[in-house]
Amino acid sequence: MPLVDQNGRPVRETWQATDIPPATGHNLLLPFQVARDMSPTELTRIAPIGLRVDGNTAFDQIVPILAYVGMVVISFPSFRDGRGFTLATTLRRHGFSGELRASGSILPDQLAALRQCGFSSIETPPAHPPAQWQAAASSFSEARPLLKHLLAQQSSVK
């Protein structure tokens, strides 16, 4: 899938997706379940890794391997499912400074919310090519009031 940055501009893929952890390599994008089962020695040998997680993955599950991670791809099963936004916000609030990528069922109309939550790139779904993301980026610059309210409310709970 084509990639765009948080401003809707096309970017080049620098990570290699794999389901089998190799003995060596770099910029490897692994499913969370595979990385979770690797030893610290194995993770150190191929770090930094990219981690593909579902939006419903608990932050606490990611913490033990987060030191080895340079990118997290958060998959959205539905554009109505906001758990990926919550996970991204939580990762950023806990100091994750690597790349955050949104994937799955996301809409160009959600670009401002994706930016606000700390996403730095987006795997564009086939139904929404990069040109639609560029148009969305130029049409507004910040999240709508409801999202701002919900994010502020979440901050006050923690």
> What is the overall mean pLDDT for the chain?
89
Question: Can you read off the two tokens belonging to residue 87?
Answer: 């996970």
- The span from the CA of 49 to the CA of 26, in Å, is 7
pLDDT in tens, 2-47: 999 999 999 999 999 998 877 677 899 999 999 999 999 999 999 9
Say what the pTM is: 0.85
Q: Which residue has the tokens 């009031």?
A: 145
pLDDT of the residue at 26: 80
Angular region, 27: left φ>0, alpha ψ -120 to 50, beta rest: left
pLDDT in tens, 80-131: 899 999 999 999 999 999 999 999 999 999 999 999 999 999 999 989 999 9
Angular region, 75: left φ>0, alpha ψ -120 to 50, beta rest: beta
* Amino acid sitting at position 121: S
Task: Return phi, psi of residue 17, to 5°.
Answer: -75, 135
Q: Is 92 exposed, middle or buried (0-12, 13-18, 19+ CB in 10 A)?
A: middle
Contact assessment for residue 95 and residue 72, using Cβ atoms and an 8 Å cutoff: no
**Peptide bond before residue 108 is cis, with ω within 30 degrees of 0:** no
What would the DSSP string read from start to end of 95-156? T--SEEEEEES--GGGHHHHHHTT--EEE--TTS-HHHHHHHHHH-SS--HHHHHHHHHHHH
pLDDT of the residue at 21: 73
